[in-house]
Amino acid sequence: MPNRLFIKLLLGFWLCSSLIIALVGLLPLLQQNHDRAPIPPHLQKVLATIAQRIQENPTLLKSDFLRRWERHRDMEGKPLRLYLTNSQGQVINTNRISRGVRSFMLMADEEKQPISHQFKDELVFGPYQFTLEGETYFLYGRLPDTHPRPWFFFFIENKLLTLSLAILLSGLLCALLAWHLGKPLRSLKKSADALAEGDLSNRVDKTTTQRNDEIGQLATAFNSMADSIEAMVKNQQRLMGDISHELRTPLTRLQLSLALARKKGQQTTETDRIAYEAEQLEQLIAELLELSRVKLSTNETKVCLGLAESLSQVLDDAEFEADQQGKKITIDIDEAIELSHYPKSLSRAIENLLRNAIRYAKSDIHLHASQTSGQVQITIKDDGPGIDPAELESIFKPFYRPDSARQRESGGWGLGLAITEAAISAHKGKIKAENREPHGLEVNISLPT
């Protein structure tokens, strides 16, 4: 029960607000407990001595006895001020009464016993009660006195600053709670984004899944869902590869039968057509098997190798093909670029892009590769007719053939760019195509090192 998210939110905000209210509310009580105390014995003795003198000589009430006494010093050498009140609470020896003394008289009346109270710059104490000629009198004293005050008294005297600090403290506590709840949610969002971009192996970290609240349950459910999705996609891709592989057996028999027929002199226009279509089927099956292999990343291990070295054969073939068609290809790859990759898959991806560029370019093709912090950028440009902007996002889908000048006369099954996209995704990279001005196509690849 305590691990439920509702309980955490409730306790978090409730404790935060309660703590702030308690701290602010306790300050006056702390001040009161610190300032108010029983009357010290030596001051009690001073008041008792004065009261006894008055009781022994009642005429002192009408003289300046109390004023003359005030000229004396207490035991610590501080000037003492005296106040004498009657039973109605009226001060009878002076008309000059400070606000602090009046407040103290009310405090002492509530306490019902002699006390002392430390004001900012004076100590007031009393009352000492005595009776004279059937009348009750109360004697109070005041000393100029300042004592070191606890540090928290600073907040009592600066209420605006105290309020500001209370708001800041409450913000910090709430921020801590928000971070505690937000961190696992950010981890969950990161994994969801990665899954949406095709990274089926990404999972929520163990720190989040091991939580005992609803967020931990959600993370565990998300990982289970991702496991199921990854398994289904891989099974589908494996099924496509298995079917393509199985189709090769009857196709091989068909091609063998055609070869035997030709040996027997049974070659006709129809058998030539059958042979052509069988060859097309053979190429289609080979493309499907390649797509399945690249997506599953099977039979290949990542190696850390120079990009120029890995693509050397592909680049030589591209230069030869461009030269045969009377076109110019410019290759700019820094020899220092190295990255961890699947050599065959990456080579096939670049080969498909270069062949497309050579096929549709009017005269010039450019390949440029550069390395930035943690990324390798590969750009392939041509000066061909380009692609309809509405179809740029779809050209990497399997069997998609745009209704543009680049594809209508090209033949093929729309699997070349799908294989390229699968190879880049297997490297955790990104690929994007965009039209150039005034014409042509530019394909940008970003690969992590």
CATH of the domain at 265: 1.10.287.130
Element (H, E) at 64: none
Q: What whole-number distance in Å separates Cα of residue 380 and Cα of residue 351?
A: 11
Query: Could you give the number of structural domains in the chain?
Result: 3
**Are the CB atoms for 81 and 142 separated by under 8 Å?**
yes
pLDDT at 1: 44
Q: What whole-number distance in Å separates Cα of residue 390 and Cα of residue 404?
A: 11
Report H helices in 90-158: 99-111, 153-157
3-state secondary structure of 445: strand
Q: Find the CATH number of the domain harbouring 80.
A: 3.30.450.210
Q: Find the CATH number of the domain harbouring 421.
A: 3.30.565.10
**Are the CB atoms for 428 and 407 separated by under 8 Å?**
no
Tell me: do 274 and 309 sit in the same domain: no
pLDDT at 405: 42
Q: Where among 157, 175, 195 does a domain terminate?
A: 157
* Residue 125 counted as domain residue: yes
* Residue 175 counted as domain residue: no
245 is known as an active-site residue? yes
Burial of residue 421 (CB within 10 Å: 0-12, 13-18, 19+) is buried
Token pair of 166, please? Answer: 């209370």
* Residue 195 counted as domain residue: no
Contacts of 106 (CB under 8 A, 6+ apart): none
Tell me: do 285 and 309 sit in the same domain: no
Q: How far is CA 128 from CA 42, 51, 106, 417, in A?
A: 13, 8, 15, 103
Q: What is the pLDDT of residues 96-107, one digit of tens each?
A: 888 888 888 888
Tell me: do 78 and 94 sit in the same domain: yes
Tell me: do 318 and 442 sit in the same domain: yes
Tell me: do 46 and 150 sit in the same domain: yes
Give one word for 205, left, alpha or beta, with left for phi > 0 and alpha for psi -120 to 50.
beta
Pick the catalytic residue from 42, 180, 245, 439. 245
SS3 content of the chain, % helix, strand, coil (to 5): 55, 20, 25
* Residue 443 counted as domain residue: yes
Tell me: do 105 and 50 sit in the same domain: yes
Q: Where among 251, 274, 296 does a domain terminate?
A: 296
Nearest to 380, CA basis, from 412, 333, 414, 427: 333
* Residue 197 counted as domain residue: no
User: Which residues in the chain come in under a pLDDT of 70?
Assistant: 1-12, 20, 23-36, 65-77, 146-159, 162-163, 237, 240-242, 244-245, 295-300, 400-414
* Residue 259 counted as domain residue: yes
Give one word for 386, left, alpha or beta, with left for phi > 0 and alpha for psi -120 to 50.
left
Q: What whole-number distance in Å separates Cα of residue 384 and Cα of residue 288?
A: 27
Q: Where among 157, 183, 198 does a domain terminate?
A: 157
Nearest to 256, CA basis, from 282, 285, 238: 282
pLDDT at 269: 81
Cis amide linkage into residue 127, ω under 30° from 0 = yes
Q: Kind of pairing, strands 364-372 and 328-333?
A: parallel
Tell me: do 314 and 434 sit in the same domain: yes
Tell me: do 319 and 279 sit in the same domain: no
Burial of residue 34 (CB within 10 Å: 0-12, 13-18, 19+) is middle
Nearest to 75, CA basis, from 51, 45, 100: 45
Contacts of 91 (CB under 8 A, 6+ apart): 83, 84, 85, 97
Tell me: do 258 and 326 sit in the same domain: no
* Residue 9 counted as domain residue: no
Token pair of 256, please? Answer: 């063998």
Tell me: do 84 and 112 sit in the same domain: yes
Range of the domain at 134: 39-157
CB-CB neighbours of 356 under 10 Å: 24
Tell me: do 329 and 284 sit in the same domain: no
* Residue 173 counted as domain residue: no
Q: Residue 22 carries which side chain, given as an amino acid letter? A: A
Tell me: do 58 and 121 sit in the same domain: yes
The upper half-sphere exposure of residue 383, i.e. CA atoms within 13 Å in the direction of its Cβ, equals 10
